[in-house]
């Protein structure tokens, strides 16, 4: 009997781990709510629309009630949180239209440079993104990357392990993967807006005050 219980526990353990972990990332849509109206992000939206648009996507990394994005996903998030958007009215069943980032202002600037090391052929890529809000406050996000050690978080970002699917030799498996990410809560605090994520519909909502 003891052997049977032990065997069942051994089999059940991976399933319990799987059920207790969020699988990341979610391929999600982005919505902004302004003055009680909700708009879905789409790069295809335009004036005088005659039909619905395909929504844009953003990758959401999850850890319980905490949500994160990679720096490469920051542009649309920053535009939405800063209100730097063009709105396109088109009444849909559950929202009032579409939005996209506006070219009128720039709320995020990026910088990248390479540095040599003591090992010939090995370089470090230093990356930064500086964001600003409507009050002209600035927040700098800094990280670096090299082939030997991968990503290193330096300022206002972090290395976080997420439970992700992996394909190994044609077989699907799951494991923890380190990602360089930015906290959505930190960004929302900087822009004085609220952010929520609907796990069922996979929509990230940004509400401007």
pLDDT (tens digit, 9 = 90+) per residue, 66-87? 999 999 999 999 999 999 999 9
Comparing 3 with 170, the larger pLDDT belongs to 170
Residue 122 confidence (pLDDT): 86
- Output b/e per residue, 132-153; b: 16+ Cβ within 10 A: bbeeeeebebbbbebeeeebeb
For the segment 129-160, what is each residue's pLDDT rounded down to a tens digit?
999 999 999 999 999 999 888 999 999 999 99
Cα–Cα dist 30/41, whole Å: 6
pTM of the model: 0.85
Domain ranges of the chain: 24-207
What pLDDT is attached to residue 167?
Answer: 79
Confidence label for 7 from pLDDT (cuts 50, 70 and 90): very low
């Amino acid at each position: 009997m003891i052997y049977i219980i032990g065997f069942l526990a051994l089999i059940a353990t991976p399933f319990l781990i799987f059920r207790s972990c969020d699988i990341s990332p979610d391929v999600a849509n982005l919505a902004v709510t302004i003055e009680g109206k909700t708009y879905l992000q789409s790069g295809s939206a335009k004036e005088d629309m005659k039909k619905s648009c395909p929504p844009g996507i953003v990758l959401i990394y999850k850890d319980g009630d905490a949500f994160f994005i990679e720096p490469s996903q920051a542009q649309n998030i920053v535009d939405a949180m800063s209100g730097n958007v063009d709105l396109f009215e088109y009444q849909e069943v559950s929202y009032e239209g579409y939005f996209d980032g506006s070219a009128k202002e720039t709320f995020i600037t990026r910088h990248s440079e390479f540095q040599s090391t003591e090992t010939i052929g090995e370089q470090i890529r230093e990356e930064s993104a500086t964001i600003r809000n409507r009050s002209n406050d600035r927040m700098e996000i800094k990280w670096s990357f090299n082939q030997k050690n991968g990503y290193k978080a330096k300022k206002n970002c972090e290395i976080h392990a997420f439970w992700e699917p992996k394909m190994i030799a044609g077989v699907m498996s799951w494991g923890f993967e380190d990602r360089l990410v930015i906290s959505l809560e930190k960004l929302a605090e900087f822009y004085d807006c609220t952010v929520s994520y609907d796990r069922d519909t996979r929509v990230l909502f940004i509400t401007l005050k």
